[in-house]
Structure 1
Amino acid sequence: MPSLFSWLRRIYSLDTLDTRFTSTATTPGNAAADTRPAAAKDARANAIAQNARAPLWRTPEFFVYYLFFITLVPLMFKTVVDASKGESKQAGERPASQFEHMLTEDPQIDNSDAQYASFRDNVPYLLLLLIAHPLVRRAYNYFASGKNTATKSSNQSVVAAGNAQLKQRMRFDFAFGLIFITALHGISALKVVLILLINYRIGKYLPRSYVPAVTWTFNIAILFANELSGGYPLERIALFLAPGSGTSGDKGSSLVQWAQTLDSFGGIMPRWEVLFKVTVLRLISFNMDYYWSVDYLSSSPIEVCTPLVSSSGLPISRLDVELTEFHKKKQLDPSTLSDRDRVKIPAEPAAFSVRNYIAYVLYSPLYLAGPILTFNDYVSQQRYTPPSLTRTRTTLYGIRFFFTVLCMELILHYIYAVAISKASPDWSIFTPGQLSMLAFFNLHIIWLKLLIPWRFFRLWALLDGIDPPENMVRCMSNNYSVSGFWRGWHRSYNRWIVRYIYIPLGGSAGGARGPAGTKTASAPKSGFMSKFLQIRNVLLVFTFVALWHDINLRLLMWGWLITLFVLPEVIGGILFPARRWRSRPTAYRIITGIGSVGNVLMLMIANLVGFALGLDGLKDLLAGLTGSYSGIAYMISCCAVLFVGIQVMFEIREDEFRMGIDLKC
């Protein structure tokens, strides 16, 4: 039993999830891959561990909390299962009759969410790709290595070996990516490639001062154009070119018929524009990484120069030598760069080629949904396989993914929260407890439906030798901070937002900054103005995030609500700074717990508006919850239960501090 328990702890450890969580951003790759506790690997982590307070798990206070968990968690599941079975507070009412048509038969499963249903129904094909893609790469590497045996040498430098691996992997990703999108999108693959080439020319051939503005304008315009045009069907283009071509036998009619025939070759996923939103992020990443690389490289010794010959007679490039000298100067091992260095240090100019660009944008494991990897990080990992990639970690991650899918299947078999919300039922027939649990589990299903595809595609990338960031840091129920929640939800997207939008806008300091945080404009000295600009930057960020997800008013309202709900947390931090409560840690823990209850309620409201019920549906739900004295009493009791849960969340984070880990979420 102890061995089973330790095995489960290893599966659900942060180290298995992503080594970025158990090391700092500046920890070298070989040290980050160390399985020892963070405090044993890093001085900063050791300092975090030393400042953690004593554990509270065995105190009388927490034994009371355990009683809450033992009694209430099973009751929560029973309440939502009863609502899903059709049991209501009114005799003779059958809520199930309002949504039964949305369930599958034999057995009944709530597969009514179109986004997750698309993934779930295609799992057999995705599993085939998960197995076939790494095997095809290994076969290609075997034959490619056989041809290049004569050029290999034990004296080959680390940089030269990395460059050879980079070229080999890029060739494969370039070819496989083009084949992959052709199978996915059919004739629309040409549209994708055309957009890619236009963006490439913007990044590489426009005057440098215009690149950021034109890149952002072009890609945001593409988001709107894709949505409004429905993916540019050729039939619509033909009708535009040949108006009034409805008459049979004329040339216009032939053009339209030909366009219709081409449109019929739409591939496995004809609606390519839905998936292109993630691709847009990679387009911006390539252009901006290249734009920033010019300044970065102008102050470094890295240049593309004429070929040289090594002492063994093998051809090498001066770039190899200068890359080596650069890393020596910075005291960096190019094969074990830290996570921050892989993102920050740009690839050499020759790496920003059209082949590498297309290989990056169309990288098959991450093409459909991410996680999002910057171009610099992608090139670095293609050149040197990250030390964090081990067979044990990948296996444990795969087992964890399997358990997550199993959890989702059990929920869909017994809890029909999505079908109920989509059916827009008469909410008054449910009890306050059922209403709250339907909303709560609806959010859990949203979390799981995003978590599972993201982890599947990350697992695919891990098997292929690439380590992208993990998108979900914590369970949805283990969050009490609005800002912390967004750092841990879709984490790779959050990192992308910080690098390409938030920091250039000025971040939390106010003044405009470069990608590495260097000031490009003077930051305001006023504390109030700094906070004002921080809120402005958050508003701009979430407006972009909402429009990126979908161009509709509901998600725009969601983005503005999130910005509004950040304000109480910021104001609370100003009124109750932690440094003033160091002598009274228990009182501070109680105060922050009460404030965090409000944060949790606001997070639930914002996400229900954006991703589940919309504003009208939320109004009906809240009316059902607070429309009676019993409902108000129930909401008060819910706040007490949330307070208990938040105290446990605090202690979980203190446990992480004791291990030298500070996730800031």
Structure 2
Amino acid sequence: MDASNETNPNYYIYQGILSQGWIFGRKVDNSDNQYRFFRDNFVLLLGFVAIHKCLRIISKYLKISRLNFDLGFGVCFVFAVHGFNCFRILCHVSIAYGIARLLKNKPIIAQTLLWIYCVGTLFINDRYRLVKFSQVFDFLSFMDGFKGLIERWDVFFNFTLLRMLSFNIDFIRRYETIEHSNNDIPLTNIKTKAKISEEVTLSPNVPRITNNDVTSILTERERLDTPLPISDYSFKNYLSYLLYTPLYIVGPIITFNDFMYQSNHTLPSITFKRNLIYGLRLIFCFLVMEFILHYIYVVAVSKAKAWHNDTPFQISMIGFFNLNIIWLKLLIPWRLFRFWSLCDDIDPPENMIRCMDNNNSGLQFWRAWHRSFNKWVIRYIYVPLGGSKYRLLGSLAVFSFVAIWHDIELRLLFWGWAVVLFLLPEIVATKLVYPYRGNWWYRHLCALGAVVNIWMMMIANLFGFCLGKDGMVKLLTDMLTTFDGIIFFILSAVCLFIAAQVMFELRESEKRRGVNVKC
């Protein structure tokens, strides 16, 4: 607050960026473009949730199939949101579908071309998204008039891209399996004894899959790998999946196999009580974010680079709370759309399962941050490239794709490579010290390693998403070359060492309660 409020000498530089707020007459830092879109359209989004739920109830009464309703509502929604630009999206998804279908007998070539085209769409959209329909054909000029509620269709297409790849790669793999076995076994005929998730309790009213009197509920992992009949990979189901409204804008990401399973079988995790608690927690997180934006203007400070004569401690807090705001600005929309999906009887993965400040390991941090995306890249990039056998190659490929997927910027590509570089010391150190885990000093050595890890994670993310090159250079220069900076560095390292010990104990407490989320 001292580094970003009215009392700071640099306040005049960024006060014009601030907006009028609603908490005790204070201004609000609504300068983040991504979160401003969500915050300004929050009521509209809640209206879509209510309309969608009401129409779903009516469709059940009219006995309209779930997938047909998803397709119909999805088409109307995407046209309302993107206008005639939705035809650009339809063009991309149709080409990807065609590649998978035409080359299904050559799985390696099909997946290679699919990846080339789908990654290429990111560059195509970046370069040609402003090309008007009239520039292609004069008679299409009428399509330039209506661009929907969200003109930047290409931003949300990135999530559609992940679903495109999920559907088509799963189809190619399924077709290859059928070709080898010459046996297309539908899901309902598979005799599977699935373990019931420890997180849920079966209700008498919950639908079950019954195979020869064996009652089973598939776990999330089993839903990914359980084969579907090849007829399920139709163009209609493809569009129903891609345009599924609650998860269309920003996810969370759910694979096609999981989506199809849940469309036919309601999971026991879907309960009114759980949804209500989840909704109340969502409101609480939204209010926390509002309080921070009304009292800590660090986003505006970063945009205006207004840190002249600030101490290393102040600059580090500007960066640190920027990271917390980034975490919250992603968590809140993801939880809103997941809440919408839960109300619609589809349970996608939770994207943020641990507080950003409760992380001491780079590897574990990325498992908890955007968890559905993490699972997606592991399934479709990391494992096909050899998994842990070629960890460095897989990690470079994963973070290169993640960087390009976020935006076509060289800065983000450098960020992705820096993340991999910063993960290497943890991987090597873990292997070296693990044999000594029985010694009394092992925990404290890990805490020292955690301090280094936290610093490296903060530096990579502050450079990529908060302070940029100028702010990062100033912070490191002041911190390592001035007396006050060195004192700050030492004291902050002590604080992080203590925090790491607290994190270790929190995880031990979770294990004692039978919780192990591996992050």
User: What TM-score comes out, normalization by structure 2 length?
Assistant: 0.92
CA shift for structure 1 position 205:
2.5
Aligned residue in 2 for 1:535:
392
Aligned residue in 1 for 2:495:
641
**Whole-angstrom distance in 2 between the partners of 1:646 and 1:503:** 31
CA shift for structure 1 position 325:
3.9
Aligned residue in 2 for 1:233:
132
One of 46, 56, 60 as aligned partner of 1:127: 46
Q: Is the contact made by 1:289 and 1:346 (CA closer than 8 Å) also made in structure 2?
A: no
Q: 1:640 to 1:329 in 2, by over 3 A?
A: closer
Q: Could you give the per-residue CA deviations for residues 197-225 of structure 1, whole angstroms, max 9, x where no partner exists?
A: 11111122324312201111110111110
**Whole-angstrom distance in 1 between the partners of 2:259 and 2:470:** 43
Indicate the larger mover: 655-664 or 600-609: 655-664
CA shift for structure 1 position 573:
1.0
CA shift for structure 1 position 262:
2.4
Aligned residue in 2 for 1:327:
191
Q: Is the contact made by 2:194 and 2:218 (CA closer than 8 Å) also made in structure 1?
A: no
Aligned residue in 2 for 1:105:
20
CA shift for structure 1 position 97:
0.5
Aligned residue in 2 for 1:355:
236
One of 113, 119, 141 as aligned partner of 1:214: 113
**Whole-angstrom distance in 2 between the partners of 1:456 and 1:95:** 36
Q: 1:114 to 1:331 in 2, by over 3 A?
A: closer
Q: Which runs of 5+ in 1 are unaligned?
A: 1-80, 89-93, 146-167, 239-254, 305-318, 510-532
CA shift for structure 1 position 625:
3.2
**Whole-angstrom distance in 1 between the partners of 2:188 and 2:340:** 32
Aligned residue in 2 for 1:434:
314
Q: Is the contact made by 1:231 and 1:273 (CA closer than 8 Å) also made in structure 2?
A: no
Q: 1:615 to 1:235 in 2, by over 3 A?
A: farther
What secondary structure is seen at the aligned counterpart in 1 of 2:227? coil
Aligned residue in 2 for 1:557:
414
CA shift for structure 1 position 134:
1.4
One of 360, 377, 395 as aligned partner of 1:497: 377
One of 549, 555, 568 as aligned partner of 2:425: 568
Larger radius of gyration: 1
CA shift for structure 1 position 592:
0.3
One of 382, 402, 408 as aligned partner of 2:283: 402
**Whole-angstrom distance in 1 between the partners of 2:192 and 2:293:** 55
CA shift for structure 1 position 621:
2.6
Which residues of 2 match residues 187-202 of structure 1 at below 5 A? 187-202=84-99
CA shift for structure 1 position 543:
0.6
Q: Could you give the per-residue CA deviations for residues 558-595 of structure 1, whole angstroms, max 9, x where no partner exists?
A: 10110000011011112211x4331x2x3111000001
Q: Could you give the per-residue CA deviations for residues 149-175 of structure 1, whole angstroms, max 9, x where no partner exists?
A: xxxxxxxxxxxxxxxxxxx11100011
Q: Could you give the per-residue CA deviations for residues 301-326 of structure 1, whole angstroms, max 9, x where no partner exists?
A: 9637xxxxxxxxxxxxxx5xxx4442
Q: 1:324 to 1:560 in 2, by over 3 A?
A: closer
Which residues of 2 match residues 153-172 of structure 1 at below 5 A? 168-172=65-69
CA shift for structure 1 position 539:
1.0
**Whole-angstrom distance in 1 between the partners of 2:46 and 2:298:** 28
Amino acid at match of 1:225: I
- Whether 1:481 and 2:361 are equivalent positions in the alignment is yes
**Whole-angstrom distance in 2 between the partners of 1:236 and 1:553:** 30
Q: 1:207 to 1:328 in 2, by over 3 A?
A: closer
- Whether 1:619 and 2:473 are equivalent positions in the alignment is yes
**Whole-angstrom distance in 1 between the partners of 2:375 and 2:224:** 10
CA shift for structure 1 position 378:
0.3
Q: Is the contact made by 2:403 and 2:413 (CA closer than 8 Å) also made in structure 1?
A: yes
**Whole-angstrom distance in 2 between the partners of 1:493 and 1:398:** 22
Q: Is the contact made by 2:478 and 2:485 (CA closer than 8 Å) also made in structure 1?
A: yes
Aligned residue in 2 for 1:176:
73
Which residues of 2 match residues 496-515 of structure 1 at below 5 A? 496-509=376-389
- Whether 1:600 and 2:454 are equivalent positions in the alignment is yes
Q: Is the contact made by 1:479 and 1:485 (CA closer than 8 Å) also made in structure 2?
A: yes
Aligned residue in 1 for 2:34:
115
Indicate the larger mover: 340-349 or 294-303: 294-303
Aligned residue in 1 for 2:224:
343
Indicate the larger mover: 208-217 or 624-633: 624-633
CA shift for structure 1 position 328:
5.3
What secondary structure is seen at the aligned counterpart in 2 of 1:429? coil
**Whole-angstrom distance in 2 between the partners of 1:387 and 1:300:** 33
Give % identity: 43
Aligned residue in 1 for 2:2:
82
Amino acid at match of 1:275: F
Q: 1:100 to 1:452 in 2, by over 3 A?
A: same
Q: Is the contact made by 1:301 and 1:326 (CA closer than 8 Å) also made in structure 2?
A: no
CA shift for structure 1 position 86:
3.9
Which residues of 2 match residues 376-415 of structure 1 at below 5 A? 376-415=257-296
Aligned residue in 2 for 1:465:
345
Q: Is the contact made by 2:195 and 2:217 (CA closer than 8 Å) also made in structure 1?
A: no
Aligned residue in 2 for 1:96:
11
Q: Is the contact made by 2:312 and 2:475 (CA closer than 8 Å) also made in structure 1?
A: no
**Whole-angstrom distance in 2 between the partners of 1:302 and 1:403:** 51
- Whether 1:420 and 2:301 are equivalent positions in the alignment is yes
**Whole-angstrom distance in 2 between the partners of 1:631 and 1:330:** 56
CA shift for structure 1 position 330:
8.3
**Whole-angstrom distance in 1 between the partners of 2:130 and 2:155:** 9
- Whether 1:140 and 2:140 are equivalent positions in the alignment is no
Amino acid at match of 2:326: I
**Whole-angstrom distance in 1 between the partners of 2:486 and 2:411:** 27
What secondary structure is seen at the aligned counterpart in 1 of 2:278? helix
Q: Could you give the per-residue CA deviations for residues 523-581 of structure 1, whole angstroms, max 9, x where no partner exists?
A: xxxxxxxxxx311211111011101110101101110110000011011112211x433
Q: Is the contact made by 1:558 and 1:610 (CA closer than 8 Å) also made in structure 2?
A: yes
Aligned residue in 2 for 1:628:
482
Q: Which runs of 5+ in 2 are unaligned?
A: 197-207, 210-215
Q: Is the contact made by 1:296 and 1:346 (CA closer than 8 Å) also made in structure 2?
A: no
Amino acid at match of 1:649: M
Q: Could you give the per-residue CA deviations for residues 261-281 of structure 1, whole angstroms, max 9, x where no partner exists?
A: 421210111111111001000
**Whole-angstrom distance in 1 between the partners of 2:169 and 2:115:** 10
CA shift for structure 1 position 327:
1.9
CA shift for structure 1 position 105:
2.4
**Whole-angstrom distance in 2 between the partners of 1:359 and 1:556:** 33
Q: Is the contact made by 2:164 and 2:242 (CA closer than 8 Å) also made in structure 1?
A: yes
Q: Is the contact made by 2:70 and 2:244 (CA closer than 8 Å) also made in structure 1?
A: yes
Indicate the larger mover: 559-568 or 194-203: 194-203
Q: Root-mean-square deviation (CA), in Å?
A: 1.9
Q: Is the contact made by 2:104 and 2:110 (CA closer than 8 Å) also made in structure 1?
A: yes
Aligned residue in 1 for 2:463:
609
Q: 1:374 to 1:328 in 2, by over 3 A?
A: closer
Q: Could you give the per-residue CA deviations for residues 466-506 of structure 1, whole angstroms, max 9, x where no partner exists?
A: 00000011111000000110000000000000000000000
Aligned residue in 1 for 2:151:
270
Amino acid at match of 2:314: Q
- Whether 1:581 and 2:461 are equivalent positions in the alignment is no
What secondary structure is seen at the aligned counterpart in 2 of 1:474? coil
**Whole-angstrom distance in 2 between the partners of 1:230 and 1:143:** 40
Aligned residue in 2 for 1:150:
none
